[in-house]
């Protein structure tokens, strides 16, 4: 395969370990980073052959961004509900007209081809914002066939033309279905019974919405344990709307990530750090809910932080991870370096993808050349356009 040389990189933001390398060049061979050297140097001297050369003109290059929490498989619109919520209506009222239930009804009513087109269009939005890996959840069908169909759709689209790589998460335990007549435990039983098929269909992970008004810690424990038995990576919506114990459960079962954490405590942070659970924080949602997580506690205990857009129809519509990095700075007080680390290394840890999240020799060649000369632009521009994006060495922007 032909090698590609990214030359004249003004600032190469490599990741948490090596930091910024100035006046650098990177060679990509066979979808991986084959060589890192000085701008203007010839990688052939190190036996790395490149036929193509991209002049990055002194610009900024970072790893491809990783969005560690999204819900892109849905139909319908909840914009009127969103406007009403900003005027005082509380979130979480899960009647048929609003919340997850409303989207479930709309999604089930959406024709499969139309849904595929909408999801594909949304996924292109992530590419346009510089994300090369996106965690994508099901959870707006809440029937066996619908949830497995959503897994199949995501599995089919991952890595497609112009699309990011996907980490597919089965979230049948998102909420009690609006037309469910049994107990919540019966829906949990059903969700668990679908996990094996989900894994076969291509799911990488499972998740459960553990919170006030959604599922209990006991119910979430059953889902995560069953997911682990099915060989899936585990994530949990934890302590978002109230402090119900989701972060502690994540530590207990050794989940890959606990997400949202708007009510996380110092004890929770310690337990997560001890168990190696990543904190996936979603600044857009935190701002919309009006509740900020205790980021200082997470940092004090050394919890790895990832960032997610939490793209979903009822709360956050952006697919621009460069904006989410900016929000991580603006809302959470992260430094630019911390926010970029969360959107690269942290995301890779949250999704347990050890081949990406930093620019090192041998890593997957997920790279973004930004329209900026310095990483400070993330905190200034509020959405930074990529000049080029490579996903596993393929140029997709």
Residue 118 is a binding residue for a copy of itself (CB under 8 A):
no
Residue 88 is a binding residue for a copy of itself (CB under 8 A):
yes
Q: Kindly tell me which of 84 and 242 has the beta carbon lying closer to a copy of itself.
A: 84
Dihedral angle sign, alpha carbons of residues 232, 225, 291, 315: positive
Token code pair at residue 290: 């009006």
- Which of positions 355-374 make contact with a copy of itself (CB under 8 A)? 372-374
CA–CA separation, 123 vs 128, rounded Å?
9
CB 221 within 8 A of CB 173: no
Residue 38 is a binding residue for a copy of itself (CB under 8 A):
no
Q: Which stretch binds a copy of itself (CB under 8 A): 150-158, 187-195, 267-275, 280-288?
A: 280-288
Q: φ, ψ for residue 51 (rounded to 5)? A: -90, -30
CB of 127 to a copy of itself, least distance (A): 16
CA–CA separation, 305 vs 12, rounded Å?
22
CB of 394 to a copy of itself, least distance (A): 27
Q: Which stretch binds a copy of itself (CB under 8 A): 93-101, 186-194, 236-244, 380-388?
A: 380-388
Select the residue interacting with a copy of itself from 86, 109, 145, 161 (CB under 8 A): 86
Q: φ, ψ for residue 165 (rounded to 5)? A: -70, 145
Kindly provide the b/e burial profile for residues 362-387, where b requires at least 16 CB atoms within 10 angstroms of the residue's own CB. ebbbbbbbbebeebebbbeeeebebb
Q: Kindly tell me which of 175 and 329 has the beta carbon lying closer to a copy of itself.
A: 329
Q: Which stretch binds a copy of itself (CB under 8 A): 61-69, 99-107, 187-195, 283-291?
A: 283-291
Residue 376 is a binding residue for a copy of itself (CB under 8 A):
yes
Residue 69 is a binding residue for a copy of itself (CB under 8 A):
no
| CA-based nearest residue to 344, from 370, 313, 314, 315 | 370
Residue 196 is a binding residue for a copy of itself (CB under 8 A):
no
Residue 287 is a binding residue for a copy of itself (CB under 8 A):
yes
Place of tokens 């207990």: 252
CB 294 within 8 A of CB 331: no
Token code pair at residue 227: 């997911």
Residue 207 is a binding residue for a copy of itself (CB under 8 A):
no
Select the residue interacting with a copy of itself from 7, 67, 81, 239 (CB under 8 A): 81
Q: Which SS3 state, helix, strand or coil, does residue 43 take?
A: helix
Residue 284 is a binding residue for a copy of itself (CB under 8 A):
yes
CA–CA separation, 75 vs 326, rounded Å?
28
| CA-based nearest residue to 54, from 391, 368, 274, 325 | 368
CB of 212 to a copy of itself, least distance (A): 22
Residue 130 is a binding residue for a copy of itself (CB under 8 A):
no
CA–CA separation, 60 vs 65, rounded Å?
14
| CA-based nearest residue to 372, from 327, 326, 329 | 326
CB of 79 to a copy of itself, least distance (A): 3
Residue 385 is a binding residue for a copy of itself (CB under 8 A):
no
Q: Which stretch binds a copy of itself (CB under 8 A): 35-43, 82-90, 104-112, 165-173?
A: 82-90
Dihedral angle sign, alpha carbons of residues 196, 199, 203, 208: positive
**Residues forming the site for a copy of itself (CB under 8 A):** 77-84, 86-88, 284, 287-288, 290, 315-318, 320, 323, 329-331, 333-337, 339, 372-377, 379-383
């Amino acid at each position: 395969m032909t090698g590609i040389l990214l030359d004249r990189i003004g600032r190469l933001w490599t990741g948490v370990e090596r930091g910024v390398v100035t006046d650098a060049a990177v060679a990509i061979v066979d979808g991986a980073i084959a060589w890192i050297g000085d701008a203007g140097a010839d990688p052939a001297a190190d036996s790395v052959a490149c036929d193509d050369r991209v002049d990055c003109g002194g610009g900024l290059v970072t790893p491809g961004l990783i969005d560690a929490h999204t819900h892109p498989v849905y139909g319908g619109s909840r914009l009127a509900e969103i406007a009403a919520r900003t005027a005082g209506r509380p979130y979480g009222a899960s009647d048929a007209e609003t919340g997850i239930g409303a989207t479930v009804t709309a999604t089930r009513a959406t024709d499969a081809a139309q849904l595929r087109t909408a999801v594909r269009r949304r996924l292109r939005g992530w590419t346009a914002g510089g994300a090369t890996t996106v965690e994508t959840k099901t959870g707006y069908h809440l029937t066996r066939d619908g949830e497995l169909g959503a897994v199949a759709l995501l599995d089919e689209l991952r890595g497609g033309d112009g699309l990011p790589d996907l980490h597919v998460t089965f979230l049948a335990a998102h909420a009690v279905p609006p037309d469910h007549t049994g107990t919540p435990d019966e829906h949990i039983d059903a969700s668990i019974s679908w996990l094996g098929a989900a894994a076969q269909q291509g799911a990488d992970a499972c998740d459960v919405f553990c919170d006030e008004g959604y599922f209990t810690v006991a119910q979430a424990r059953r889902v995560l344990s069953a997911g682990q038995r099915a060989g899936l990576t585990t994530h949990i919506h934890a302590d978002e709307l109230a402090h119900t114990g989701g972060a502690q459960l994540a530590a207990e079962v050794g989940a890959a990530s606990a997400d949202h954490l708007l009510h996380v405590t110092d004890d929770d942070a310690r337990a997560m750090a001890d168990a190696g659970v990543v904190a996936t924080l979603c600044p857009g949602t935190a701002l919309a809910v009006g509740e900020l997580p205790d980021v200082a506690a997470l940092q004090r205990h050394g919890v790895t932080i990832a960032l997610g857009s939490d793209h979903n129809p009822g709360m956050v519509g952006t697919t621009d991870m460069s904006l989410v990095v900016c929000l991580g700075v603006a809302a959470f007080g992260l430094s630019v370096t911390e926010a970029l680390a969360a959107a690269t290394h942290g995301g890779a840890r949250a999704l347990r993808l050890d081949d990406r999240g930093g620019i090192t020799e041998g890593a997957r060649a997920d790279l973004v050349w930004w329209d900026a000369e310095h990483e400070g632009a993330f905190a200034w521009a509020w959405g930074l356009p990529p000049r080029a994006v490579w996903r596993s060495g393929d140029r997709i922007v």
